[in-house]
Amino acid sequence: MILTFEFKLRGSKKAKLEIKNQKLIVFSAPSGSGKTTIVKHLVKKFPNLGFSISACTRDKRGRIEENGKDYYFLTPDDFRHRIENHEFVEWEEVYEGAFYGTLKSEVERIWSIGKVAIFDVDVKGGLSLKEYYKEKALTIFVKVPSVEELKDRLKGRGTESDDSISRRMFKVKFEMGFQDQFDYILLNDDLEKTLLTAEKIVDEFLNS
């Protein structure tokens, strides 16, 4: 798909800017399913994918995360102000008091450099992105073999307090109820196999 925009340069001549590949790939699942692992792998594998950096109000995970790379870490006031300014494509209070959202400027940033945007968002956010961008978006639900396995992975990641794990586990069944509304359900059992399947799905979509 190619869109052509005309805009005026400082003088008065019009310039044409072609934006190709206005597509997005969305990974959603309950926390701990492996979205981040899969998305990071795909971004390394496909240079024309650009990771959509979400805004959020939760605390940064110590030295593991960087502001402007993993998330834009905002204060609740700043986040609220941006909601009022209609700066988000979608936003959710994913956990009580923890807001996450996709900024319109972020999708535009990625498309303006000719890349396809790839997302790691919660289940409701993934469905909102599909509703907004329709056929431009490919949505993938990452499924784990069992709820017990999900809990083990969350614990094993070592980033969450017991309280945070409980809050995340509380939503799992609710989130799993939406899986059939996604374009693909990707079972993340054996990681190596999952990554290969994910590559295949992405490759097909990029070439469609």
Tokens at 39, concatenated: 């998305």
3-state secondary structure 98-160: EEEEEEHHHHHHHHHCCCEEEEEECHHHHHHHHHHHHHHEEEEEEECCCHHHHHHHHHHHCCC
Using CB under 6 A, which of 19, 22, 73, 92 touches ligand 5GP?
A: 92
Provide the mask over 71-90, with x wherever binding to ligand 5GP is found by CB under 6 A and - wherever it is not.
-------------------x
Q: Does 125 bind ligand 5GP (CB under 6 A)?
A: yes
Q: By CB under 6 A, what part of segment 104-123 binds ligand 5GP?
A: 120-122
* Residue 101 interface partner, choices ligand 5GP, ligand ADP, none, CB cut-off 5-8 Å depending on type: ligand 5GP
Residue closest to ligand 5GP when measured from CB atoms: 125
- Binding ligand 5GP (rule: CB under 6 A), the pick from 21, 37, 54, 139 is 54
User: Closest approach of Cβ 77 to ligand ADP, in Å?
Assistant: 27
34: left (phi over 0), alpha (psi -120 to 50) or beta: left
Joined tokens for residue 144: 């784990």
Minimum CB distance to ligand ADP, residue 113 (Å) = 25
Is the Cβ–Cβ distance between 31 and 123 less than 8 Å?
A: no
Rounded distance between C-alpha atoms, residue 179 and residue 188, angstroms: 14
Query: Which residues of the shown chain bind ligand 5GP in the complex (CB under 6 A)?
Result: 31, 35, 54, 58, 90, 92, 94, 100-102, 120-122, 125
